[in-house]
Amino acid sequence: MAKRDVRQGTLALMVLKTLDVLGPLHGYGIARRIEQISGDLLAVNQGTLYPVLLKLEQEGAIQSDWGTSDNNRRARFYRLTAAGRRRLTAETRDWAQTTALIDRFIAARAEDLS
Amino acid sequence: VKSLRRLRSRLSASILGRDEDERVREELAGHLAMLTDDFVRSGLTPEEARRRAAHTLGALDDATEAWRDQRRVRVLENIVVDVRSAFRSVRRYPLAAGVAVLSLGAGIGATAITLTARDVIFRKFPPLYREPKQLSRVQVDRPDRPILREGSPVPAGLYNIWAGTPGLEIAALASRGMRDVRIGDTTTVMPIRAVTPNVFDVVGVRPARGRGFTGSGSDSTAILSEAASRELFGTREALGQLLWIDGRSHTVVAMMPGPFWLSDMSPAIWLPMDTRTLAADETLEVVIRRAPRVSAGGLGARLGPGLADYLRRQPGGAPTLATRISGMEGTPTSRQLSIVLPYILAAAVLLTLLVACANVAVLMFAQWTARDREIAIRASIGASRRRIVQLLLAESMLIAVAGAGVGLGAALGLRALILRASDSALFYDLSLDPVIFVKIALVTLAIGIAAGLMPALFETRRLHANPLRALRGADRTRQRMRHGLVIFEIAVTVALFVVTASMIDGYRRARQADVGFDTRPLLTARVENPAGVPADEVLRVVAGLPGVASAGISTAVPFGMAGARTPVSAVSSTTDSVEVEQAVVRGPFFAALGVPIVVGRALQEAETDGSRSVVLNEALARRLFPAGNPLGATLWIASQPHRVVGVAADYASSPLRVGLEELRVYLPLGNQPRERLQLIVRATGDPAPLVLPLRREVNRAVAGTGVTSAVTFPQILRIMGQEMLVATAPLVPLISIGALLSMAGIYGVLSFAVSRRSRELAVRVAVGAGPRHLIWTVARSTLALVAAGAAVGIGATFALSRLVRAGGGAGSIYDPAWQAFVLPLAAIALIGLAVTWLPARRAASIDPLALLRVE
């Protein structure tokens, strides 16, 4: 099956969750983890990823600093801020509500509505 | 908050520039390297791994670009690029750009100067006053009389009640009087002002030297302004000096600082007064310092009970009084000048700016038309219309900003010059108001957009369809637009010319008008006595003065005092009445004024109001008795029958009202006492030397009666003329600038037209047209432009003058005479000829061979 691009608007949530679970990580690492967790169904394009990281940083949800990766490469490491953690909680709740809602619509049958 | 934070971060990234690009490049390179590492670990050769990684990630530049878009504000980056490119473009047409910058500089400079002048005259507070916004002037008057900025002073009786109100910081000034001031053995006449001792504390200005007034006043002290000190003692310092005012000695106990003025700017001597010793109906100028957070309305409420108390104490149903509370802003001049003047100025400034704007638009049109190929190419390689318009706007904006710089520089230079050259400049607060800078900035912005937008939209309107085809066929429309703009400029210039010419003509008329009597030997004086002016006694004293030919007394004197209005009817006591001015006269009033009696006789010396005689003026006789002789007829004045004994010739009550119909009746003065009468004195020669002896003799010889003002008619005319000149003066620079701008506009259009049409002209020469024909071809278009512009300008002002006339302003300075229309026409025709000359000569010197060979 061909890899799919990440759905619009969901990448930010994935990035926040990844940083929350795994702690500070560089851009490449974030992309890898998201692809892994999706079971390699998703492809994270760097042209999409870095603007999202920048946007989150501009909004104050994450911060970044230069550091050294496991195999000694210079890389920028992103970590979650307190504001980012609050945002993750709020967005997770929103997402759960949205999916629950959509699930109910999809599961609905004619007799349920009569 | 989230989006705000993002915007801030983006803006700073846009402005702070490109270091961050390095960061993303490095980060992306790191990303690529790590992916390559992973591929190597999975068993690929380094070479192969690099290729795969590069393939997987795609072009690095695309990612960088996406990142950059996220990082910055696109618009801002474009602006930076546009401004740079505008600089480059403007450098390619330095002459036209220079003309445009100077045009705008002139317009914006004129705006800055006029706005500052308006603020200085009408809006700023006198210098040195402490917290001047907390100060209020209070005026009172009967409710049926509008309270103007000048006049309507407060009676001393009322002031004393207010002064007794606890916690009210209130001070008063008596009206200014001219008195004899003696130092040693030289006597001069100087303006003197009696003030309550606390007045300097209330306005919050400490003396520069000395102690100020103490106690309740009426002691023998005086405070001097620096100007008065220089005039009297020849030095700035008069502290401790002695001077005699009307024979009483006063010691100078304080000197006020140089720029200080109070109520008027003349060299001032202030004497302390005790308002409790004044007659109750003596009138005062009142200043109050409001407590913090008390508004003008709140002050009115605090003054209310005192006013009610005062009215209750008045005998026999005195009319109620209205109060007016206003600020201390403005100069004495502003209180006398017409209220419409600031608006006329503002309108003139706005028009001048519009002309400057039109000029820039004309230039932009010409430049951009010449660059249509470049614009088309930009469009073909993908620039959107918005981008191109933005680019062109940046150019006009650049010119506007440079123009603003030039204009403000000129305004600042002029200010420095005034400060250096003028003595009285120190009385004015000439500091520059930041609000004016903000206004100028907004105006500049508006001009940049207004001047650039129309041409830019026009030049780009069809680019999206087929850029290269749009090149053709737009010339005619462009020409029409340029012509429209120039016609507008000429119209505005002509209109400004007409207004100025009309005001100058009004001034000329005021100086030379035949008001119906000879003003040269006349002087008028106000005599006052709270117990009633003994008219006969005053007349006897005045007539006995050497140099007096004759003297009369009246309640209404032209140029001086307007009479009461009263209804008059020739039919009955109640019907068909007209409102006329009523003059109650005594003595040889008509002879003194020099107004002939055309029919019948004048009022006789012994006649009183018991005789029920009346004299009309010609205008009223014509109105009431169009057919017959009014002599002996009955006239109902305020419902009382009177017999007409004579008709006096018409005269104007003011130089500005010459030619207007003024209806008037003259009644003999009765026995009813009058506090205030106006003397009219005819001198045998120059009336000026009579002023002092008249004042002195009346004050001395008639007990309780004083002359409160005495002035010759030539003086009045001079002052009126000066006031009108002051009012006209700011228009003159505006108009010169307008005319210059129009010249530049016509020239720009013509020379562009000649260069655009040079091929056509060359062909004409080739087929045998002579230079005269060529010059005519070019001059014809000027003629058409000037004619159209002048027609619009004259038409607009003429329509306006008809409106003024319909509103009852016929004959006033706002109703221009025909000269005011003809002179501007001549001026604009001359301007047109002058600017046609150069382009026409260029057209005449076209060499068809040279030109057509190039083509």
- pLDDT one-digit tens code per residue, B93-132: 787 788 788 888 888 887 787 777 777 777 788 888 888 8
The C-alpha atoms of residue B315 and residue B321 are separated, in whole angstroms, by 14
**CA atoms of B723 and B341, how far apart (whole Å):** 12
Indicate the residue type of B818: W
CA distance B57 to B304: 84
From B6, B26, B67, residue closest to A51, measured CB to CB: B67
pLDDT at position B336, please? 58
Task: State percent of chain B over pLDDT 70.
Answer: 83
Q: Residues 6 or more apart from B374 whose CB is under 8 A from it?
A: none
Q: Which residue of chain A comes nearest to B70, CA vs CA?
A: A51
Categorize the per-residue pLDDT at B518 as very low, low, confident or very high, splitting at 50, 70 and 90: confident
pTM > 0.80 = no
Which two three-digit tokens encode residue B3? 């989006």
Which strand (E) or helix (H) includes residue A63? strand A62-68
| Gap between the Cα atoms of B846 and B843, Å rounded | 5
The answer, for A58 touching chain B at a CB cutoff of 8 Å, is yes
CB atoms within 10 A of CB A47: 18
CA distance B259 to B269: 15
Distance (Å, whole) CA B613 – CA B601:
11
pLDDT in tens, B710-745: 788 887 777 766 666 666 666 676 777 777 777 777
Chain A positions touching B4 (Cβ under 8 A) are: none
For residue range B753-784, list pLDDT tens digits in order: 777 677 777 778 778 777 788 778 777 877 88
For residue B657, what is the DSSP state? G
- pLDDT surpassing 60 at residue B469: no
- Integer Cα distance of B76 and B74 in angstroms: 5
Cβ neighbourhood burial of B267 (10 Å; 0-12, 13-18, 19+) = middle
3-class DSSP string for B406-422: HHHHHHHHHHHHHHHHC
| Alpha-carbon gap, residue B698 to B243, rounded angstroms | 24
Alpha helices in B586-651 (DSSP H): 589-593, 618-624
ipTM value of the model? 0.85
Which strands make up the sheet holding A74-80, listed edge to edge? A25-26, A74-80, A62-68
Which candidate from B5, B28, B69 shows the least CB-CB separation from A46?
B28
| A10 in B contact zone (CB under 8 Å) | no
Instruction: Check CB contact of A35 with chain B, cutoff 8 Å.
Output: no
pLDDT in tens, B397-446: 888 889 889 988 888 888 888 777 766 667 777 777 778 778 878 887 88
Question: How would you classify the pairing of strands B242-245 and A74-80?
Answer: unpaired
| A76: contact with B, CB 8 A cutoff | yes
**Are the C-beta atoms of residues A27 and B31 closer than 8 Å to each other?**
yes
CA max distance for chain A: 64
**Cα angle B814, B817, B823; round to 5:** 110
Across the interface, whether the CB atoms of A59 and B69 are under 8 A apart is answered: no
d(CA B801, CA B205): 47
Q: Do β-strands B221-224 and B248-255 pair in parallel, antiparallel, or remain unpaired? A: parallel
Among B539, B548, B549, residue whose Cα is nearest residue B587: B539
Interface touch B58/A74, C-beta < 8 Å: no
> Whose CA is closest to B223, among B234, B137, B245, B202?
B245
Under the banding of pLDDT at 50, 70 and 90, the label for residue A47 is confident
Most confident among B73-82, B131-140, B337-346, B708-717 (mean pLDDT): B131-140
C-alpha B736/C-alpha B277 separation (Å) is 56
Alpha helices in A8-107, H assignment, sequence order: 11-22, 27-37, 46-58, 82-107
Cα separation, B157 vs B281, in Å, equals: 6
**Are A28 and B5 inside 8 Å of each other by CB?**
no
Residue where the block lists tokens 């999202």: A52
CB-nearest partner of B30 from A55, A58, A74: A74
pLDDT above 90 (res A86): yes
Residue B63: pLDDT band (50, 70, 90) is low
**How do A74-80 and B135-141 pair as beta strands?**
unpaired
> Which residue among A27, A45, A60 places its CB closest to the CB of B27?
A27
Cα–Cα distance, A19 to A31 (Å, whole number): 11
Tell me how far apart the alpha carbons of residues B134 and B291 are, in angstroms, rounded to a whole number: 7
Identify the band that residue B278 occupies on the pLDDT scale cut at 50, 70 and 90: confident
CA–CA separation, B472 and B485 (whole Å): 22
Give the C-alpha separation, B116 to B122, whole Å: 10
- The per-residue pLDDT for B615 is 93
Mutual angle of helices A27-37 and A11-22, in 10-degree steps = 100
Q: Is A84 near chain B, with CB under 8 Å? A: no
Residues 6 or more apart from A102 whose CB is under 8 A from it?
none
Q: Which residues of B touch A75 (CB under 8 A)?
A: 27, 30, 34
The CA-CA-CA angle for residues A59, A60, A62, to 5°, reads 115
Which positions ≥6 away from A74 have C-beta within 8 Å?
A: A66, A67, A68, B26, B30
pLDDT, chain B, mean: 79
pLDDT in tens, B174-186: 877 767 788 888 7
Residue with tokens 């009445």: B577
pLDDT bin (cut points 50, 70, 90) of residue A1 is very low
The distance between the two most distant Cα atoms of chain B, rounded to a whole number of Å, is: 137
Between B31, B63, B70, which is nearest A55 by CB?
A: B70
Q: How far apart are the first and last CA of chain B?
A: 64
**Alpha-carbon gap: A72 to the closest alpha carbon of chain B (Å):** 10
B812, pLDDT greater than 60: no
Q: Of A28, A40, A76, which to mutate for an interface test with B (greatest number of B Cβ within 10 Å)?
A: A28
